[in-house]
Chains A and B, each alone.
Chain A
Amino acid sequence: MKRTGVFVCHCGINIAGTVDVKKVAAELAKHPGVVHAEDYVYMCSDPGQNLIIQAIKEKKLDSVVVACCSPTLHETTFRNATKKAGLNPYRCEIANIREQCSWVHREKSKATQKAISITRGVVEKVRRNESLEDVSVPVTKRALVIGGGIAGIQASLDIADAGYEVILVEKSPSIGGHMSQLSETFPTLDCSQCILTPKMVEVSKHPRIKLMTYSEVQEVSGYVGNFKVKILKKPTYVDPDKCTLCDECTKVCPIVVPNEFDMGLTGRRAIYIPFPQAIPASYTIDEKACPGMFDTAIACGKCADVCKPGAINFDMKPEIVEVDVGAIVVATGYDLYDKSMMAEYGYGQYPDVLDGLQFERLLSASGPTGGRILRPSDKKEPKEVVFIQCVGSRDPELHWPYCSKICCMYTAKHAMLYKHHVHDGQAYVFYIDIRSGGKNYEEFVHRAVEEDGVLYLRGKVSRVFEDNGKLIVWGVDTLTGKQIEIAADMVVLAMAIRPSKGMDELAKKLKIALDKDGFLAEAHPKLRPVESMTSGIFLAGAAQAPKDIPEAVGQASGAAAKAMAILSRDRLFHSPTVARVIRNLCTGCGMCVSVCPFEAISLKEGKAEVNEILCEGCGTCSASCLRNAIQVKNLTPHHIQEMIKACLGG
């Protein structure tokens, strides 16, 4: 025998003005199983709540319906009151007769009838509710940050400064990311290295940050609060504790390969330090380039011979490190679009057609030319430079449909800095339109035009080819409709920003989604921009979408705050209204496994099994199961059917 109590709130006249609350209570009192029904002017007030508590105790109620405002407002209030009275809070439900009834109707008799129907439905639901306890799990108070660019650095520092341990995994030999390659940064033109290096040092010195460079995430299992991660630490063959940075090794290494830090504009040895400020400050032997590594027949070992501290160790082996973490921040950044796709602009064919990062290296004081702008082909100063924007971006037919967002700004910066170096030179910029939304960004672009005389040409370039030592740029000025031909000395392409290489594999390991363009997908495009769809995994920086430094840093702090909200808890609680498998009905068809948006269901011994921590209780599984073998607790098909019946009065 069920013993339900119904409490109808007047909400002053908010409900009572259009709904005959006395009649609702009277009608519900007649409903089978309802042993108590009353109305009161403000149910949420202390006296109102006391009425509920008293009735539960005196009438031995086993379930409660409060007919009042939306459950988003007072569900917690009334569930707490229920709990106070010694009844399980999940045996209390709200019938929304204000927002979805009294406030939107005028005719009292009809509104009253509707309120009765709604409340009846909820009575039928609540009497089938089980008593449930919140699901709870302990939290590992440590974070993993993947990617050591400015976003990963910022997230690591924020989390570590708050008192939690951080493991920062970076795949290359040094942290710093692309920011370490930049010369000066828009819109203030401060030197990139100068503002980045202190942060890199802070990371390396931080007592709570464990830095793992030259490492990659290999396997991830577990769930929010309790991830288990396997990290592959690749051998550098140099002991960083012994290395004194004397640089004798690179003088004797006979192998030269393209230097990725200088974007291939220079070469480096097989043993190298990526850049002078690298963290950790140590050398790495590139095992793909070094001939002495695996084939002992041509073993070279020259570096080991000259290394006085004996830092070189050819016997170093890859290592797998297993760590437990409670939250993960993914900050794997970007790469530039594959330039070989841009044959019409002569990239790869002509040495003086560069991409944006190569131009940054030319501008950089620590770059291959010591900060002088010289053509790679003949080391002469270019007098006419053409910058082409939107290369590979905003081109849904051939390349990528999206705007890469930062290139309008860095192109303005490039053209401006070029003029600062070569006063008598001319800079041209081909653009579709200029996107300079951001604090002081528009002013920055104006400065390039007005103070530095950069010539902006609205239009597209169709071809770049070499003629007589010049790069001939063919384009159309769409404002005047005229054909343009510029005989340039150098061409710089603002290549599309792409997610960093290997992103899809990493996303698979983390079980997080990518968007249609391959960037990390956020949980909600507006309201949850730093969360992935997997609870406990957060996104930062250009890995989620093209971003400049301020945005990448801002998002990193946001992701860190979200991660800390988890790490600061001893246990995580989770709504217990999750899916449950009725094992004898389940045939193990796997339908639910494939539709679950949270990968919370797996097949174990031929039956579906729900991970209660991962399950969010959406019920998509239950609608897909042909046998009703998986149901959300307290909102089963049975609950719904009975609600329908009661609402329709039959």
Chain B
Amino acid sequence: MAAEFEPRIVAFLCKWCSSAGADLAGVSRMEYPPNVIPIQVMCSGSVSPLYVFSALSHGADGVLVSGCHPGDCHYIKGNYYARRRLALVKKLLEYIGLEPQRFQMSWVSATEGVKFSQLIYDLVKELKPLGPQTKFRRNY
């Protein structure tokens, strides 16, 4: 029997809320699937669309951007920019034909360990049936 498809996901987590939330999930030992590789950024507002495209072109099957809740940004309003900018990116990706599940945004605060772990569960569950992402993957 062929092994089940395991999506590889890159998660851009802001340092102050979402990465701290992921740390809390760890401290509370809330298990979730190991498919996500976290990359810590200072603020979700610093996530350039290029990062998303780059992850997809290097073979990520899904990309997650997570920051502080709107209104709670450590840098005041970075996540508002992220929200607007990445909503456009999402539209663009979907327009090109990428499955909407493959690029997701969420808001996870430093106290939401449970939410973070649930988020990863759901993400992996949604991506498994889709199989590998080939639309953007570069052929080496």
Q: Which of A50-99 contact B (CB under 8 A)?
A: 70-72, 96, 98-99
Stretch at the interface among A100-108, A263-271, A346-354: A100-108
Q: Which of B35-67 contact A (CB under 8 A)?
A: 37-43, 45-51, 54-55, 58-60
A104 neighbours in B (Cβ, 8 Å) = 25-26, 29-32, 34, 117
B95 within 8 A of A: no
**Contact A635 B41, beta carbon cutoff 8 Å:** yes
A640 within 8 A of B: yes
Complex CA gap A595/B75 in Å reads 11
Number of residues in B with C-beta < 8 Å to the partner?
47
Q: A105-B31, A524-B72 are in contact. Are A632 and B46 (CB under 8 A)?
A: yes
B34 neighbours in A (Cβ, 8 Å) = 101, 104-105, 107, 110-111, 113-114
If over half of B's interface residues share one DSSP class (helix, strand or loop), that class is named, otherwise mixed; here it is mixed
A648 neighbours in B (Cβ, 8 Å) = 8, 10, 37, 55, 58-60
Selected from A106, A117, A513, A617, the residue in CB contact (under 8 A) with B37 is A117
B108 within 8 A of A: no
Q: CB-nearest residue of chain B relative to A624?
A: B81
Q: Which of B74-108 contact A (CB under 8 A)?
A: 74-78, 81-82, 85
- Total cross-chain contacts (CB, 8 A): 137
A645 within 8 A of B: yes
Complex CA gap A275/B125 in Å reads 72
**CB of B85 to closest CB in A, whole Å:** 7
Selected from B26, B49, B55, B140, the residue in CB contact (under 8 A) with A644 is B55
Complex CA gap A121/B51 in Å reads 14
Q: Mark A625-650, 1 if CB is under 8 A from B, else 0.
A: 00000001001010011011101101
Q: A72-B20, A623-B85 are in contact. Are A533 and B76 (CB under 8 A)?
A: yes
Selected from A100, A597, A647, the residue in CB contact (under 8 A) with B10 is A647
Selected from A70, A618, A645, the residue in CB contact (under 8 A) with B75 is A618
Complex CA gap A632/B46 in Å reads 9
Q: CB-nearest residue of chain B relative to A620?
A: B45
Complex CA gap A111/B32 in Å reads 11
B129 within 8 A of A: no
**CB of A541 to closest CB in B, whole Å:** 22
A617 neighbours in B (Cβ, 8 Å) = 42
**CB of A35 to closest CB in B, whole Å:** 24
Selected from A121, A524, A623, the residue in CB contact (under 8 A) with B46 is A623
**CB of B138 to closest CB in A, whole Å:** 8
Give the interface size bracket for A toward B.
35 or more
**Contact A618 B45, beta carbon cutoff 8 Å:** yes
Selected from A70, A100, A525, the residue in CB contact (under 8 A) with B72 is A525
Selected from A98, A111, A121, A635, the residue in CB contact (under 8 A) with B42 is A635
**Contact B78 A620, beta carbon cutoff 8 Å:** yes
B71 within 8 A of A: yes
Q: CB-nearest residue of chain B relative to A120?
A: B37
B25 neighbours in A (Cβ, 8 Å) = 99, 104
A184 neighbours in B (Cβ, 8 Å) = none
A118 within 8 A of B: yes
**CB of B3 to closest CB in A, whole Å:** 11
Selected from A105, A107, A118, A620, the residue in CB contact (under 8 A) with B43 is A620
**Contact B26 A99, beta carbon cutoff 8 Å:** yes
A107, A513, A645 interface centre (most CB from chain B within 10 Å): A645
**CB of B82 to closest CB in A, whole Å:** 8
Complex CA gap A15/B125 in Å reads 26
**CB of A303 to closest CB in B, whole Å:** 51
B30 neighbours in A (Cβ, 8 Å) = 104
B27 within 8 A of A: yes
A114 neighbours in B (Cβ, 8 Å) = 34, 37
Q: A113-B34, A524-B72 are in contact. Are A103 and B29 (CB under 8 A)?
A: yes
**CB of A599 to closest CB in B, whole Å:** 11
B42, B50, B59 interface centre (most CB from chain A within 10 Å): B42
B22 within 8 A of A: yes
B112 neighbours in A (Cβ, 8 Å) = none
**Contact A650 B140, beta carbon cutoff 8 Å:** yes
Q: Mark A103-137, 1 if CB is under 8 A from B, else 0.
A: 11111001101100110010000000000000000
Q: A635-B42, A637-B48 are in contact. Are A99 and B22 (CB under 8 A)?
A: yes
**Contact B81 A620, beta carbon cutoff 8 Å:** yes
Complex CA gap A517/B94 in Å reads 38
**Contact A96 B38, beta carbon cutoff 8 Å:** yes
Q: Which of A464-520 contact B (CB under 8 A)?
A: 513
**CB of A620 to closest CB in B, whole Å:** 4
Q: CB-nearest residue of chain B relative to A534?
A: B76
**Contact B23 A72, beta carbon cutoff 8 Å:** yes
**CB of B109 to closest CB in A, whole Å:** 10
Q: CB-nearest residue of chain B relative to A647?
A: B37
A622 within 8 A of B: yes
Complex CA gap A623/B45 in Å reads 7
Beyond the given A100-B19, A620-B46, A623-B45, please list 18 additional residue pairs across the A-B interface where CB-CB is below 8 A. Answer: A70-B19, A70-B23, A71-B40, A72-B23, A98-B26, A103-B29, A104-B32, A105-B31, A524-B72, A620-B75, A624-B81, A624-B85, A635-B41, A637-B48, A637-B51, A644-B10, A644-B58, A648-B58
18 A/B residue pairs, CB under 8 Å, sorted by A? A96-B40, A99-B24, A100-B23, A105-B33, A523-B76, A597-B76, A619-B41, A620-B45, A620-B46, A620-B75, A620-B77, A622-B48, A632-B42, A637-B50, A640-B54, A643-B39, A644-B60, A647-B37
A residues adjacent to B (C-beta < 8 A): 70-72, 96, 98-101, 103-107, 110-111, 113-114, 117-118, 121, 513, 523-525, 533, 595, 597-598, 616-620, 622-624, 632, 635, 637, 640-641, 643-645, 647-648, 650
B residues adjacent to A (C-beta < 8 A): 8, 10, 19-20, 22-27, 29-34, 37-43, 45-51, 54-55, 58-60, 71-72, 74-78, 81-82, 85, 117, 140
